[in-house]
Amino acid sequence: MASILPEIAPDWALFLDLDGTLLDIAPRPDAVIVPPGLVDSLRGVAARLNGAVAIISGRPVGDVDRFLAPLAMPGGFGHGSEIRLPGGAPTPSEAARHLPGEWLVRLREAASGWPGVLVEPKAHGVAMHFRLAPEREAEVRVLMESCAADCEDFALLPAHMAFELRPAGANKALPVEVLMRHAPFEGRRPVFVGDDVTDEDGMEAARRHGGFGLHVGRDFRGGSAEVRAWLARGASA
């Protein structure tokens, strides 16, 4: 029996993943489309929750700010490698690590011979996408595993048609834990909305603070379009 989707309540602190949750997955990381009305919905929900809305994304903060301009929302970026408190500037978290420069050289050299495989550098990590070349999945995995084996500071993370190297201590629970210690999040009921295995850490953190998680695939039958409609309802409630 399908669960009943709860509507946004005024005592929530809302933590939102970006790709696959607010935005539809695109063939390339730079090809995502921000649907009309999304920024207005986020602004409206944030006003209703006294600012307790955060974006928790694997993307770097610059990407998120560009997509959601003119908003510069609090949250966690790079899987928690960077955190921005309300009204503040993004700063590296305790989990942040610098990616070995030689890894980018190795990945880009390999990708140059694999049409359709894309390398996405991040502030504290790197992703290798094979959505446009699914037959390269095993080769991308082996290459990324070889990098991770060289450095215990980084861990290999499966993603949507991609593999990512991120700092071993970085995850989406970290920004939830940090933000829940600060106004306006403190004392509210945290709700984490995400679509991927990387979001499960954030959902578990929300549960530890008396809240819960909503999974796009399990709780939103219409996918990210339904998430956006849900936000629009919450903004106008």
> What is the set of active-site residues?
17
Contact 80, 39 (CB under 8 A): no
CA distances to 34, 149, 233 from 26, in Å: 11, 30, 25
Residue with tokens 């991040």: 122
Cα Dmax for the chain: 52
Residue 15 carries which side chain, given as an amino acid letter?
A: F
Q: How far apart are CA 145 and CA 164, in angstroms?
A: 10
Tell me the β-bridge partners of 13: 190
Q: For 64-67, which contacts have Cβ atoms below 8 Å and span 24 or more sequence positions?
A: 64/18, 67/18, 67/23, 67/32, 67/34
Give yes or no for a contact between 57 and 77, defined as CB atoms under 8 angstroms apart: yes
Tokens of 120: 């996405």
Residue 61 tokens read as 């903060």
**Identity of the amino acid at 233:** R
